[in-house]
Amino acid sequence: MALIVLLIIVIGIVVYFIGIYNGLVTARNGYKNAFAQIDVQLTRRHDLIPNLVETAKGYLAHERGTLEAVVQARNAAVAGLAAAKGHPGEAAAMQRVAESENALGQTLGRLFALQEAYPDLKANQTMMQLSEELASTENRVAFARQAYNDAVMTYNNRRETFPNSLVAGGFPAAEPLQIEQPAMREAPKVSFT
């Protein structure tokens, strides 16, 4: 009888730790899925930029430096995102994404500041539509980033709390997508009115 009770206790403990392991796997997959949503929105943002640059080229012929800077920043952001796709949650990957998106946001800000000096560009229907789509995408990126950071926090909390920490040896900590500068926390201001 004592052997049966001991066996039931051991089986209960094993099932409990299997549940902890499965919970950690589920949380890890949750933050990876949340990063995939950031990927979708950033890819959409990156895909809008060449159209925006092409629209602006005709009006900003003597502002080639700004247009080239936007294209270079966009390419760097695409490369940073591509590198992070295989390693969501890793600190270095999240840092590369944040830095490249910051640089892209800054160059887009210069482009939008320039368009203020060109009333024809400001009134261009395609430019207005692309700018509105870009602003909408910026909001989606912010929401996706928030969801990702929440999923990372849930995962990290699960792996660090006791008794989960006993099982979490093979589960490295995930890094949230942090944006250090306050100006980077806001979507670029786009106004064509």
83: Cβ contacts below 8 Å, ≥ 6 apart: 93, 96
Per the CB < 8 A criterion, the answer to whether 76 and 103 are in contact is yes
Query: CA 53, CA 50: separation in Å to the nearest integer?
Result: 5
Q: How confident is the model at residue 33 (pLDDT cuts 50, 70, 90)?
A: very high
Q: What is the pLDDT of residues 46-84, one digit of tens each?
A: 998 888 888 887 777 667 788 888 889 999 999 989 888
Average of per-residue pLDDT across 87-100: 89
Q: What was the pLDDT predicted at 186?
A: 53
pTM: 0.74
pLDDT at position 154: 93
In this predicted structure, what is the pLDDT of residue 20? Answer: 92
Helix (H, G, I), strand (E, B) or coil at 167: helix
Q: At what angle do helices 2-57 and 64-85 cross, to 10 degrees?
A: 160
pLDDT in tens, 121-175: 767 777 778 888 888 888 888 889 899 999 999 999 999 989 888 888 889 989 9
Is the pLDDT at 183 greater than 80? The verdict is: no
Comparing C-alpha atoms, which of 113, 112, 101, 111 is closest to residue 74?
Answer: 101
On the question of pLDDT at 27 being above 90, the answer is yes
What is the average pLDDT score of the chain?
A: 84
Give the pLDDT mean for 75-94: 89
